[in-house]
Structures are given as structure tokens and as C-alpha cells.
Amino acid sequence: MFLKNKKVVVMGVANKRSIAWGCAKALKEQGADIIYTYQNERMKKQLLKLAEPTDLLVECDVASDESIAQAFQTIQEKFDKIDGLVHAIAFANKEELDGNVSDITRAGYLLAQDISSYSLLAVAHYAKPMLNPGSGIVTMTYLGSERAIPNYNMMGIAKASLETAVKYLAYEFAVDKIRVNGISAGAIKTLAVTGVKDYDQLIKLSEDRTPDKAGVTIEEVGNTCAFLVSELAAGIVGDIIYVDKGVHLT
Ligand code: NAD
């Protein structure tokens, strides 16, 4: 177990299909203690079904600086230091995941960038003083940042921004021996993905392009996440690792 006694904050479990849940399971398998953050009471209800009774569950709506500050203060009071952070959060309005990108509204653009990209910088800011040397921060991105995937639209633009945020954060945090990386996951049927118009085609496209025609699982993404959080990945700084069963190859 390569994360024994390590404390890792996992942000973004909505239900048992969530990529963040795949990450939490893998981190736990490697011995980590998980601190979960949830967006709102509705998400908390789902999380309570999955977390262990002793796990710390903290509300954190990344749309609010006060909420983020409060969440990390609560975590600090309980644990003082942490050894990792998993950011698996994104949001865009349905209208921005359909039709023409030239119709994206200013408000829709800002909202998607705020929740899906800026939030990584915001949580990194509050987590920074608490992260032990050797810690890893991991976020989740998708191939739609690099290629025009039908209807992914606004989220592709936000993911491009997120991936560049990973690089700049990684450069800053590496001085303190904290690594920042991203995982570019293949398409998986989760709550977030159902916001994309014709999302079943997005998933089918992904599955069809894997050499063995089977899409990636949250467990496979989770295992890579556990590795990236851990010091086994000490030499990986500011990278985006594909965990998509080879979709990006074709
Ligand atoms: P999900 O719906 O299970 O998780 C999305 C999470 O974002 C939810 O827990 C939700 O509560 C959280 N969130 C949204 N707005 C928030 C806010 N204001 N404050 C706090 N939390 C907020 O879906 P998922 O697919 O597991 O998404 C996790 C990450 O993985 C996202 O960044 C997503 O873009 C990325 N990703 C998903 C896929 C896929 O195909 N599912 C592929 C690649 C990357």
C-alpha cells in the first residue's frame, strides 16, 4: 500500500458512477484516509451512502470563495496537514453543450470557466499551506480540450484552460515538492456527461475507438489517480496523462 496513513481530499463525488468515487476507492485501497468535499446537501445525501461513517465530509461549493475558505479551514482544524487533493469538478449549462460555439453567451462562458477551470486555482490556493512535501494534486480533463468533439463545445474550451492551469500551477508548486498533474479520461457515463447533447454518441465514439472496444472504467482512472497522488509519481510534474484505453491514438 503506497499511500498508507496519507490524507487525501477528494472533491466531486456525486454518486457511485463518479470518477471521483473511482479515485476515492483506489486511494483507499492504497491505504489513504479520504476527506470528501461535496457541492450541496443533495450531493451529501449520495455521498453518505458511499463514505465510511468515520470519514470527514465537508461542504465546498467552488462557486464561492467563502465556501472554499471555510472548507479548507475545517479540514485544517481536523487534520492540520494533507498529502493530496483530487479535483474532479466541472459544470457548464446545457445550452453550452449543444449547437454552435459561436452562440455561447458571455455568462455561460464565464460560468463554465469558473467552475471547471478557475476552481482548480482557487482550491490550490487554500490547500497550498496544508500540503506536505511529496503531495500530489490531480485534476480531470478530456480529449475535447485538443480536438473538436461534437457538442462538447464550451467544456472543451474550459478543459483547455484547465490543462494550462495544471502546467502553471505545477511550475509554482514544484518548488515546494508538490506535484500537479491531470488525467485525460476516456468518456464514461456519469451525471456530468449527461449534460452533453447526444452524450450516448460521445461514449459510443470513445468505446469504438478503443482497440478492444471497451471504454475506460472509473476504477482504471482511479488507479492512475492514486499513483499520481503518491510519491511513486515523483518525476511527473505538470503532465496530462491519458487514461482512455487508447482513444487518443486514433
Ligand atoms: P460527476 O457528475 O459524477 O461529477 C461532477 C462533480 O462536479 C459533481 O460531484 C458535482 O457536485 C461537482 N460540481 C459541479 N459544480 C460544483 C460546484 N459549484 N462546487 C462543487 N462541486 C461541483 O461527473 P464526472 O464525469 O465524474 O466528472 C468529474 C470530472 O471528470 C469532471 O471534471 C469531468 O469534466 C471530468 N471528466 C469526465 C469524463 C466523463 O466522460 N465522464 C471524461 C473526462 C473527464
Ligand 1 atom nearest residue 192's Cα: 2
pLDDT tens, residue by residue, 11-44? 999 999 999 999 999 999 999 999 999 999 999 9
Task: Give which of 103, 125, 123 is closest to 115, Cα–Cα.
Answer: 123
Instruction: Quick: pLDDT tens for 144-157.
Output: 999 999 999 999 99
Residue 194 CA to ligand 1 centre (angstroms): 11
User: How do the domains of the chain map onto residue ranges?
Assistant: 7-249
Atom index in ligand 1 nearest the CA of residue 64 equals 18
168 in catalytic set: no
Residue 162 to residue 5: CA distance in whole angstroms? 30
At residue 222 the predicted structure's pLDDT band, cuts being 50, 70 and 90, is very high
Best substitution site from 190, 200, 224, 245 to test ligand 1's pocket, by max atoms within 8 Å of Cβ? 190
Whether residue 152 lies in the annotated active site:
yes
Q: Which of 36, 152, 168, 171 is catalytic?
A: 152
How many distinct helices (H) and strands (E) make up the chain? 8, 7
9, 50, 61, 193: residue to mutate for ligand 1 pocket, most atoms within 8 A of CB = 193
**Residue closest to 94 by CA, chosen among 85, 86, 105:** 105
Dump pLDDT digits (tens) for 76-105.
999 999 999 999 999 999 999 999 999 999
Q: Given the residues 142, 168, 199, 242, select the one marked as catalytic.
A: 142
CATH dotted code for 7-249: 3.40.50.720
In this structure, the residues whose C-beta lies within 6 A of any atom of ligand 1 are 12-14, 18-20, 39, 43, 60-63, 88-91, 115, 140-142, 185, 187-188, 190-193
pLDDT of residue 239: 98
Render pLDDT for 35-65 as a digit per residue (tens, 0 to 9): 999 999 999 999 999 999 999 999 999 999 9
**The C-alpha cell that represents 1 in the structure block:** 500500500
pLDDT (tens digit, 9 = 90+) per residue, 151-201?
A: 999 999 999 999 999 999 999 999 999 999 999 999 999 999 999 999 999
| Residue owning grid cell 509519481 | 233
Q: What is the mean pLDDT of the chain?
A: 97
pLDDT band at 224 (very low <50, low <70, confident <90, very high): very high
Judge contact between 242 and 184, C-beta under 8 A: yes
